[in-house]
């Protein structure tokens, strides 16, 4: 009797019949054997997927229209993920230190650009992506306004959105200081002096924010922690509420 080696498709079927494979992909997954393109399996594909936290099984048809959402909210979220990934990469090569004579942060920036493999590309992605995120979140807000998507029952989600816009600006602004070049330090000096005239608390607030009376090494460390840990943490919590409320408030708004 001659043994024939299994064909690739047979091998694939056998792999998808293993207990390990079936433990990873829940029933209805498109990667599971026996997925059929029926509406039952399409529904199961969503329902038995981690994306079910974000999306219901069905959405209103007009929500697919590109000119309704322009994908702006989704792309803002995607940019946040992209920025997290590139940001983690940059964290491996960056130390937020700028004491007199040291300026480790600036030296690290230079080595990211010159010696780190793909360092300049990742840094460019991070910076351009950050500017784009501020832009897309703003446009998302305009879209939501023009489609009247803040109307009941979605009032509170609009407020959460305003908080998210504010946090996005905060993340972008704190990140702006980190390269520790002339552009960074002076943009931040000008930016923080804008808020230096708050009644009663301006001095205390500025001292707390800058770790001193002017932008200095303490500011760098403070803003680094805010940028990589504190603000993203708060942002993720509000993002969770934002997404949860979209579904609780009946999915996408409209149609017009």
> What distance in Å separates the CA atoms of residue 35 and residue 51, rounded to the nearest whole number?
18
Nearer to another protein, 6 or 191 (CB): 191
Burial of residue 76 (CB within 10 Å: 0-12, 13-18, 19+) is: buried
- Distances in Å between the Cα of 193 and the Cα atoms of 16, 197, 214 are 61, 8, 10
Residues 6 or more apart whose Cβ sits within 8 Å of residue 144: 150, 158, 161, 253
- Smallest distance from another protein to CB 46, Å: 5
- Distances in Å between the Cα of 173 and the Cα atoms of 60, 61, 80 are 37, 38, 15
Q: Which residue has the tokens 């064909």?
A: 7
Among 78, 93, 238, 244, binds another protein (CB under 8 A): 78
Residues 6 or more apart whose Cβ sits within 8 Å of residue 224: 96, 174, 178
- Smallest distance from another protein to CB 243, Å: 13
- Smallest distance from another protein to CB 86, Å: 10
Nearer to another protein, 144 or 228 (CB): 144
The terminus-to-terminus CA distance of the chain in angstroms comes to 70
> Please, which of residues 16-55 interact with another protein by CB under 8 A?
30, 39, 42-43, 45-46, 49, 51, 55
> Please, which of residues 82-141 interact with another protein by CB under 8 A?
82, 98, 103, 106, 109-110, 113, 120-121, 123-125, 127-129, 131-132, 134, 138, 141
Q: Which residue has the tokens 């390990």?
A: 20
- Smallest distance from another protein to CB 230, Å: 19
Nearer to another protein, 179 or 232 (CB): 179
CA torsion sign for 169, 172, 178, 179 is negative
> Please, which of residues 158-177 interact with another protein by CB under 8 A?
158-159, 162-163, 166, 169, 172-173, 176
Nearer to another protein, 11 or 159 (CB): 159
- Smallest distance from another protein to CB 13, Å: 22
- Smallest distance from another protein to CB 238, Å: 13
Give the x/- contact pattern for another protein in 176-205, rule: CB under 8 A: x--xxxxxxxxx-xxx-xxxxxxx------
The helix or strand, by DSSP H or E, that contains position 108, with its residue range, turns out to be helix 104-114
Total residues interacting with another protein, rule: CB under 8 A? 90
Among 3, 50, 213, 256, binds another protein (CB under 8 A): 256
Q: Which residue has the tokens 């946040």?
A: 80
- Smallest distance from another protein to CB 24, Å: 18
């Amino acid at each position: 009797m001659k043994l024939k080696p299994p064909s690739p498709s047979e091998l694939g079927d056998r792999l998808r019949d293993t207990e390990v494979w079936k433990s990873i992909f829940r029933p209805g997954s498109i990667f599971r054997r026996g997925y059929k393109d029926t509406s039952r399996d399409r529904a199961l594909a969503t329902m038995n997927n981690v994306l079910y936290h974000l999306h219901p099984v069905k959405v209103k048809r007009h929500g697919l229209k590109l000119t309704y959402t322009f994908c702006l909210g989704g792309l803002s979220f995607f940019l946040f993920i992209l920025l997290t990934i590139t940001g983690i990469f940059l964290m491996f090569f960056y130390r937020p230190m700028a004491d007199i004579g040291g300026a480790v942060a600036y030296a690290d920036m230079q080595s990211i650009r010159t010696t780190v493999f793909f360092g300049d590309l990742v840094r460019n992605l991070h910076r351009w992506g950050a500017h784009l995120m501020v832009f897309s979140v703003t446009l998302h807000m305009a879209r939501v306004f023009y489609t009247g998507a803040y109307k009941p029952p979605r009032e509170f989600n609009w407020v959460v959105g305003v908080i998210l816009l504010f946090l996005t600006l905060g993340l972008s602004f704190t990140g702006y200081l980190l390269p520790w070049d002339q552009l960074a330090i002076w943009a931040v000096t000008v930016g923080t002096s804008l808020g230096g005239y708050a009644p009663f608390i301006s001095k205390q607030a500025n001292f707390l924010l800058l770790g001193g009376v002017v932008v200095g090494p303490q500011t760098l460390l403070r803003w680094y922690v805010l940028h990589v840990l504190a603000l993203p943490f708060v942002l993720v919590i509000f993002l969770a509420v934002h997404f949860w409320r979209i579904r609780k408030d009946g999915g996408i708004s409209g149609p017009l």
